[in-house]
Amino acid sequence: MTFDVEEFVHYQIANAPVRAYPYPHFYLQPVFPETFYRRILETMPDTEALTPINEFGTVGVVDPKTGQRIKSAFEPRYIADLSVLEAEEEGAFGSDSDTWRSISPWLLGDRFRDLIIGKFVPGIRKRFGTNARLVTRVEARFVRDMTDYSIQPHTDTPTKLVSLLFYLPSDESMRSLGTSVYVPKDPTFTSDGRLRHPFEQFRKVMTAGFLPNSLFGFLKTDQAFHGVDVIKAEAVERNLLLYNIYVQKVVTSDSEAA
C-alpha cells in the first residue's frame, strides 16, 4: 500500500521541531513519500515554459553608499504558478501536469494553511498580539534558479507571514546551495523586508542543505534574515516549490468592536 501524499506531508511537518533562534524555523527530510518524489523529478517543467521573475516584480537591493533601493532588471530565476493548474490544459507542466495537479488542491487549501500557521502560533502572537485574528491568502510556485542567481539577506515583504521552501534536487551534489540564515553584525538592526542588504553586514548562522526531498520553513519577522550565496557552478538548475502565506488583514478585538 502506498502512502497518501497529503497525509505523509502533514505528518512530517506536524512533527518537525521548530527552532527559535534567531527566528522561528524548521528543516526536515523527507517531506514527500519517496515514490511520489520520484514522480516530481520525472515531471519537471522545461525552462522555456517558465516565466522570468522580473515579470512578476522584484524587491530591491540597497546601495551601501546612498542607502537607496536599486531594482534588478533581470535575475536568473524562473517561475510557474501552481494556482492556475486547474484552469490550464497544458501550461508550464505540459501533458505531465497530473502529478502537480494532485498537489495544488490540498497545498493551497485551508487545512494545510492552518497546519503551517499552527506551528508558528507563539511567534505570530508575538508579532500581532494575542487577540489578533488574521485574514490570509496563500500561493504556491515552482521555482528554478540558474547559475549566477543569489539573493542578499532580507526578511521578506511586510505582508509575508510564513514561507516554505520544498527542495527538489535529484541528488546531494548541490547541498551548499540551500537558503542560509543570517544574523546582523549590529544586534540592534532590523528590517521590515522591503530591501535586501549586503552580505558583509551579516554573520551566517546555518544553511538549510539543498538536499533531495527536504523542506525549510520559517516565520516572517523583522529579524528573519535569509538569503542565498551566488551560484557559481555552471549549468545549475536549482529547483524548488515555494509556498507562501500572506496577511491580508489583521482584526483585533478593538477594531472588530469599532
How many helices (H) does the chain have, and how many strands (E)? 6, 14
The CA distance from 139 to 15, in Å, is 23
Question: Which is it for the CA torsion 14, 15, 19, 25, positive or negative?
Answer: negative
Mean pLDDT of all residues belonging to the chain:
89
The CA distance from 60 to 221, in Å, is 18
pLDDT in tens, 122-144: 999 999 999 999 999 999 999 99
pLDDT band at residue 58 using 50, 70 and 90 as cut-offs = very low
Contact 43, 19 (CB under 8 A): no
Q: Which three cell numbers stand for residue 253?
A: 478585538
Residue 258's pLDDT is: 38
Contact 153, 212 (CB under 8 A): no
The architecture in CATH of the region 5-257 reads Sandwich (2.60)
pLDDT in tens, 214-242: 999 999 999 999 999 999 999 999 999 99
Q: For residue 1, is pLDDT > 90?
A: no
Strands 195-196 and 60-62: parallel
Q: For residue 63, is pLDDT > 90?
A: no
pLDDT in tens, 66-103: 655 455 556 899 999 998 765 555 566 765 678 998 99
pLDDT, mean of residues 246-254: 86
Domain ranges within the chain, ordered by starting residue: 5-257
What are the distances in angstroms from CA 204 to CA 152, 183, 201, 224, 227? 12, 7, 10, 12, 10
pLDDT, mean of residues 7-23: 98
Residue 91's pLDDT is: 62
The CA distance from 66 to 61, in Å, is 11
Sequence-distant (≥ 6) Cβ neighbours of residue 130 within 8 angstroms: none
The pTM for the full model equals: 0.90
Residue 156 carries which side chain, given as an amino acid letter? D
pLDDT in tens, 94-125: 656 789 989 999 999 999 999 999 999 999 99
pLDDT band at residue 54 using 50, 70 and 90 as cut-offs = confident
